[in-house]
Amino acid sequence: MRSIAGVLIVFLSGFLAARAQILDPPRLHSETVLSGVDVLSTNGKRAIETLVKTLGQPTHQEVDAQDRSLRRYYWEGDGPRLRITEETVTDKPTDLIPPRITSVEVWGTHPSGNIGVTGAGLALGATLSDARQVYPFGFKYEASGLGPSARMFVDYTTGSVSGGEYIPALEIRFKKGVVVYMKLTNPCPTPCWRS
């Protein structure tokens, strides 16, 4: 009797695990992490403090001239370049709602540690084929075009992973079929912020 119960338990646990994978396939959801920063669940101040501990002080910072609630932090050096945009709610006491990360951008030819790597594992220097493997459900690839003024993005192609109206979106730029730029944006309005 015990062996039948044991077999039944093993069968049911395997069945339930398989069912869970069907209902929630891997990487079906939108990306939320780039360079170790989770744009949905990270308190902006804490994220910046963690990056300072890891990378040192930013090479420079700036406050947006049009929107004083936006601050950008830049880390530039020998490896990939990183830019974090942080938003602070300015019409309420800042102690009530912590600043949040609205975007993480990274560009270069290869990652350095987790800088330049998404939560699902796509890294700077990866190929278009890698991107399709890492994001089999939500990856979209667009035709060639001329990029922004930065020389690195002339003749780039763009891919994206998007999950919906209030779900973070990952923009991926390729040069000659290789990832050279990624930007993770959090479009979620103030009520979605989590600390």
What 3 state SS string does 72-107 have? EEEECCCCCEEEEEEECCCCCCCCCCCCEEEEEEEE
Q: Provide the 3-class DSSP secondary structure of residue 123.
A: strand
pLDDT of residue 96: 61
0.85 surpassed by pTM: no
Model confidence at 122, in pLDDT bands (50, 70, 90)? very high
Q: Provide the 3-class DSSP secondary structure of residue 11.
A: helix
Tens of pLDDT, residues 2-11 = 566 544 454 4
Among 29, 112, 42, which Cα is nearest to 75's? 112
Lowest mean pLDDT among 119-123, 153-157, 159-163, 181-185: 153-157
pLDDT of residue 178: 93
pLDDT of residue 42: 58
Question: With 80 as the cut, is the pLDDT of residue 123 above it?
Answer: yes
Q: Provide the 3-class DSSP secondary structure of residue 178.
A: strand
The pLDDT of 18-35, averaged and rounded, is: 55
Q: Taking the CB of residue 168, how many other CB atoms lie within 10 A of it?
A: 25
What's the rounded Cα separation, in Å, for the pair 41 and 21?
24
For the chain, domain boundaries = 29-190
Question: With 60 as the cut, is the pLDDT of residue 33 above it?
Answer: yes
